[in-house]
């Protein structure tokens, strides 16, 4: 059986904002790791969850599905998901799947943090 090939680091940048640094692959095997990181990111009351895709190696349709699941969880808790660091390929995938309409995309962390209000 395959295992997750992903490392997630959670850091709180402001009292209401956490960043999840993603390194590796987001696919079906990443579900538990991603959901655990989300729980850790929101445990101190963060309302803005920034997803750092700068070191993303690969994401498939199962990974997109996990992001949708994460988005639903965040919306139910009145939280915002914000993405940054997407390369052109994954930015296009966000546009094709219309994820960019629910998860705002910024080029870098500085811009994303400035909009996390």
This prediction's pTM = 0.95
CATH architecture of 6-115: 2-Layer Sandwich (3.30)
- For the chain, 117 residues long, give each residue's pLDDT as a single digit of tens: 467 799 999 999 999 999 999 999 999 999 999 999 999 999 999 999 999 999 999 999 999 999 999 999 999 999 999 999 999 999 999 999 999 999 999 999 999 999 887
Residue 17 confidence (pLDDT): 97
What is the three-state SS of the chain?
Answer: CCCCCEEEEEEEEECCEEEEEEEEEECHHHHHHHHHHHHHHHCCCCCEEEEEEEEEEEECHHHHHHHHHHHHHHHHCCCEEEEECCCHHHHHHHHHCCHHHCCEEECCHHHHHHHCC
Residue 2 confidence (pLDDT): 63
């Amino acid at each position: 059986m395959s295992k997750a090939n992903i490392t997630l680091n959670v850091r709180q940048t402001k009292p209401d904002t956490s960043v999840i640094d993603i390194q590796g692959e987001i696919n079906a095997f990443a579900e538990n790791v991603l959901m655990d990181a989300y729980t850790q990111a929101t445990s101190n009351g963060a309302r803005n969850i920034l997803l750092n895709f700068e070191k993303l190696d690969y994401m498939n349709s199962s990974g997109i599905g996990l992001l949708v699941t994460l988005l639903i969880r965040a919306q139910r808790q009145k939280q915002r998901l914000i993405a940054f660091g997407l390369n052109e390929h994954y930015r296009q995938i966000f546009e094709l799947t219309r994820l960019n309409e629910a998860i705002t995309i910024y080029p870098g962390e500085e811009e994303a943090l400035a909009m996390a209000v």
